[in-house]
Amino acid sequence: MSVSSMGFVLASLIILVLYYGPLRRLRWQFLLTVSLAMYTLSGVVFLLLAVGLALGNYLVANHVYHLPDKPARRPWFILAIIVNLTALAAFKYFVGVNAWVAGLLPEAIGGYQLPFTQLMIPLGISYYTFKHIGHQIEMYRHKGEPVAGFGRYLLFTLFFPSVSAGPIDRANRFLPQLDSPDCSAENVNLGLTLVVWGLFKKIVIADSLAVIVGAIYGNAESFTGIPLIIGTWAFAYQIYCDFSGYTDIARGTALMLGIRLEENFNRPYVSRTVTEFWQRWHMSLSFWLRDYIFLPLAYAVSRRVNANRLLGVSNEMWSYSVAIIITWLIGGLWHDNAWPMIVWGGLQGVYLMLDRATLKTRKRINKKLRQRPVRRTAYHWLQAVITFNLISLSWIFFRSETMHKALYILTHLFQVVPKLSGFGTGVANSRYLHLLVYIAFMEIVQKLATVESVRAAFAKPAVRFASLLILSLMIVFLGEFGDSVFVYAKF
């Protein structure tokens, strides 16, 4: 059930009534029951798989925590990681492996398929697998406490607002809230605001942009130049409004239940570097990759580079570069095992490596411009524009189903085309203008939300009610309603 569907909205209302009413003394048990019931809608077999993996991880993590030292914990820890990754790979990557194998076979037997490659991908397996692995690492390192009770751990992994597309929560932050959820009126109001704001971003902006992106990327080789640039920029905001819209709805729903989920987005397109971008975009994933893959890798590489400098490059830069490239190749593979996605991940690693290599230069420029505020502001805007376009270039691989399409778009982006009516896409110019207004409105609102005086004004009941009413009317009259799904739900 999509979190933007009317069914989810109605189900959430019923859940809230029961949560604050007759079942208020059994709140987390009720949430577990609801989460299991909703997950069952994706398939009983997938539910059994999710429960089985959760039970195995719960038992192993608790056992590992109580072992005396790391040598004793290591075999169990490695076993848990292997089982989790095998389950993820078995369901998520076999279809891609089958396509790759079939492409290697002669045409006469090209119809061959590997066993079990027609399996569907279980709902949220990428997300709850990372939750399991993160918890195993914490228990292996003796950080935090083991979970008291399997039901609580199962709720942590399958919590219904966030199971399909995150955020990727940490057990030590999520679980304590089950015993004392903050069910204040303020949290209910703020949660409702997040839900409506998320619906606005998804239905009014993302789904409208999807029409433009689909018209261009669905027939990319019919276009050159301006339409491809417009389509790429449109996708940058489509995926942002789609994914952050989902996160707002998930976080808002949880907040109305007194549970605060991880923040996942913080105005990423104002970032002045790619490093800053990944501190603002899909934050729960990027921090997971940092804590559990990048930092251990960087430490391991630095221990193996004995010299202070190797081939003229410092030990620190070697360890950072190797670790960041590997980390983001894994990040790309986590999304999908298709080549465009792996290239997308590799590009993030290259961008971040170049960020680190130019850090001292950028600091010198900032220092020189410290006494020239106008030039400094202009320089910061230039950095943001460059970063946005670098990220947009990488989105080409993310959006393209094949390397052929991605390379075609890259090599035809800057070819001038004379046809400008509707940019040759069949989409009316008025839609582009409307969407520019919607995006500008969103960015202004998100900027104002960081201003303390505006936040104080919004806390007033009359202002909040009027704002929610206006947003709701915009959703009803300006929204693109249909059978759209969230982009990240497929991962």
pLDDT at 115 over 90: no
Indicate the pTM of the whole model: 0.90
CA 31 to chain CA centroid, Å, is 24
Q: What is the pLDDT of residue 433?
A: 87
What gap in Å lies between CA 327 and CA 312, rounded to an integer? 24
Residue (of 378, 264, 359, 375) closest to 320 by Cα position: 359
Q: Which of 18-22, 130-134, 315-319, 325-329 has the lowest mean pLDDT?
A: 315-319
Q: Which one has a higher pLDDT value, 417 or 59?
A: 59
Q: What is the pLDDT of residue 162?
A: 92
In the numeric block, which tokens belong to residue 31? Answer: 């949430």
What gap in Å lies between CA 408 and CA 405, rounded to an integer? 5
pLDDT at 56 over 50: yes
Amino acid letter for position 75: P
Q: What is the pLDDT of residue 432?
A: 85
Distances (CA, A) of 148 to 50, 156, 176, 481: 19, 12, 11, 44
Q: Which one has a higher pLDDT value, 210 or 416?
A: 210
Q: What is the pLDDT of residue 424?
A: 63
Q: Averaged over 262-283, what is the pLDDT?
A: 95
Q: What is the pLDDT of residue 351?
A: 96
pLDDT at 327 over 90: yes
In the numeric block, which tokens belong to residue 44? Answer: 């009983």
Q: Averaged over 338-366, what is the pLDDT?
A: 92
In the numeric block, which tokens belong to residue 176? Answer: 């304590």
pLDDT at 238 over 70: yes
Q: What is the pLDDT of residue 421?
A: 47
Alpha helices in 6-68 (DSSP H): 6-20, 27-40, 44-65
In this prediction, residue 12 has a pLDDT band, given cuts at 50, 70 and 90, of confident
pLDDT at 114 over 80: no
User: CB burial class (10 A; 0-12, 13-18, 19+) of residue 426?
Assistant: exposed
**Mean pLDDT score of the chain, rounded to an integer?**
87
In this prediction, residue 93 has a pLDDT band, given cuts at 50, 70 and 90, of confident
pLDDT at 305 over 90: no
Q: Averaged over 252-270, what is the pLDDT?
A: 95
Q: Averaged over 97-121, what is the pLDDT?
A: 53
Q: Which one has a higher pLDDT value, 372 or 279?
A: 279
In this prediction, residue 282 has a pLDDT band, given cuts at 50, 70 and 90, of very high
Contact between 85 and 77 under an 8 Å Cβ cutoff? The reply is: no
pLDDT at 3 over 80: no
Q: What is the pLDDT of residue 280?
A: 96
pLDDT at 154 over 60: yes
What gap in Å lies between CA 354 and CA 273, rounded to an integer? 10
Instruction: Report the Cα–Cα distance between both ends of the chain, in Å, rounded.
Output: 16
Contact between 71 and 34 under an 8 Å Cβ cutoff? The reply is: no
Q: What is the pLDDT of residue 98?
A: 52
What gap in Å lies between CA 229 and CA 130, rounded to an integer? 35
E strands of 71-156, at which residues? none
In the numeric block, which tokens belong to residue 207? Answer: 């789904």
What gap in Å lies between CA 43 and CA 1, rounded to an integer? 12
Distances (CA, A) of 162 to 137, 156, 188, 264, 266: 21, 10, 17, 11, 18
Contact between 426 and 230 under an 8 Å Cβ cutoff? The reply is: no
pLDDT at 108 over 50: no
In the numeric block, which tokens belong to residue 450? Answer: 């960081």
Amino acid letter for position 115: P
pLDDT at 4 over 70: no
Sequence-ordered list of residues with C-beta below 8 angstroms from that of 14, at least 6 positions apart, any chain: none
pLDDT at 455 over 70: yes
Q: What is the pLDDT of residue 290?
A: 94
pLDDT at 106 over 70: no
Q: What share of the chain in percent tops pLDDT 90?
A: 61
pLDDT at 127 over 50: yes
Q: Write the pLDDT tens digit of every residue in 26-55.
A: 999 999 999 999 999 988 999 999 999 999
Whether the upstream peptide bond of residue 167 has omega within 30° of 0, thus cis, is yes
pLDDT at 117 over 50: no
Contact between 205 and 241 under an 8 Å Cβ cutoff? The reply is: yes
Q: What share of the chain in percent tops pLDDT 70?
A: 89
Alpha helices in 168-294 (DSSP H): 171-174, 176-179, 185-199, 207-217, 226-256, 274-277, 283-289
Q: Write the pLDDT tens digit of every residue in 425-448.
A: 667 777 888 899 999 999 999 999
Q: Which of 108-122, 290-304, 389-403 has the lowest mean pLDDT?
A: 108-122
